Chain A
């Protein structure tokens, strides 16, 4: 029989209770506080240096979404230049990833993860610019054009959202506490108006004498005129670029370096073979393989020496260029095209050029019934092709790096054009010229959309089958009917959003 000592029992219980209380009273905040050096706290971004880092960050986002950047931890590195070009007739998927095949086939599923990334990256670019603006204003009050540059980037992202996606993209925002304020779906015309306003604000924030003022003005003028073309305001577009007095040498680049990241157009075509320049894809597709055009030089991968069948053999001038087929192995030997517009991993990509200003003026002239000025403007560009074409910094005749042809592919001369004689013929010529000058710079998809857009809406009213690739798709099945990217399913996490408003061009 156990002896029970009630006093001792109480003491025991009391002592254990004290212990529990002591343990429970630990200063958990002190114990639990950790600081992770991998992240940058928003409170650290309150200085002129931080403002500059945010500005550069916005440009980095712009690089990401244009010519491409590998997202952190990601494997799909293309930007809207290649992805939109695939939906149009600029790029062909030579990949095994269904996301790229769908887009090339114009049969896009709204869950397409690569398309989702494009949508997200465009908005990240927009948000990065918006986040930089107040910090620049506060901590770099004398660098006003830096603010202007951010407004231009904001406008560029808004413009690209409208040019790339179906009607109905929401424009959401973050509030001061970084909480998401969900936007309502907006028709593209409204988003274009947003972009125009952004470009105007950019210009207003580019006072004469400021370091980046001219650049901001020229960027804004060209981009604003581009949006005006989207809205069918042809005359105003021509006036806008003319008034801006843009020098012919003007180009705005995204640049690459091996320690940061590779040019993704080069990486995904020349290196990895995931994409290949499309040749004669669709009724308006450029014949870039046979055109031998210095604006879009290409070579044939994996061929030992140049032959009649393969006039531009990559290996003839670059022994490292041994890729003979696309990543999917479906192109077959002798058919894999390698672009040489940006022939190295470090090739810079001009995303806005004075070239476009002349093309806009040519189009304005054409729409105003002045075919002479139209043709003269195009021929002015052709006569000065070395000035107006890409690239500007690498692979020029005087700068030879590995991967550049010792003899420029496609030659250097562009003979003058002659007037086709009909309005339709001139339009074809305009869009062919735009296709070559602006190849893979995000212009082709909006151009095809403008071509099939009703005249009443500022378009050219052409039939879809006369513009977009249709019929059998080379990997099997047939082309679908997408004329733009669709707003991805992920947007349904925005409670205001319920799908594209329509799929009109």
Chain B
């Protein structure tokens, strides 16, 4: 029983970290209609930022400044935000699919850097010994995970509150107006490009924060953490949960990460270890089928976007 509870804590830590990334994607896609196919790139930038800044010095690797983790997380958000700025400026004025292709490209490029720029990223060996905040307080592994869970909950709670406030503010209304009808919003004097860029950068910063937390939680980040499968998983989480709804984003993250972890565990128990590569393939196929079914049968997801109307308006 203790083991199950301990695993649940570990599971929830990861699920909520992905929930944070999913919230970032929800701001970009759910509210601003920006199609980001490079989620993993922004996640990886955040993860490596924390790895480089907060880990102890190591031979042959740049960085290792032993900075406190909270500072590393702020830097992770900044680094991912700047990356988003670089991708967003040339593409956000163009047709929406161009952003999709450009974000896909930046993620591929970041993956190559993760794999090949060894003095920065450690290449295939990755970067190790990434600390967690306040590690000295906890000797017990379970207690340490419990503390990390509490911290992640606090961060995701703050992010949720901030996003809800933002999307319900005039700023959020303009964002949705641009998503629905750019011409109409522009004709009212709203600078569609500026609003999109803001949403894109803030969303990417949340993805970077998620990446930073992940690096700190696992203690390791390597080129395998920059694969496009993660982008896909986050998208499935958002679509399953319901895009345009922040509760849906978090719920989808927990549900899909649950399905992913369970199917991984199930196949590891049922299949012999020689089939590990094929079991991994089956996991992706399973999640792909879930996405296909949700897209076809319930495109709004578990909880869809709420209808927003002006106070006093008659709801049809």
Do A and B interact? no
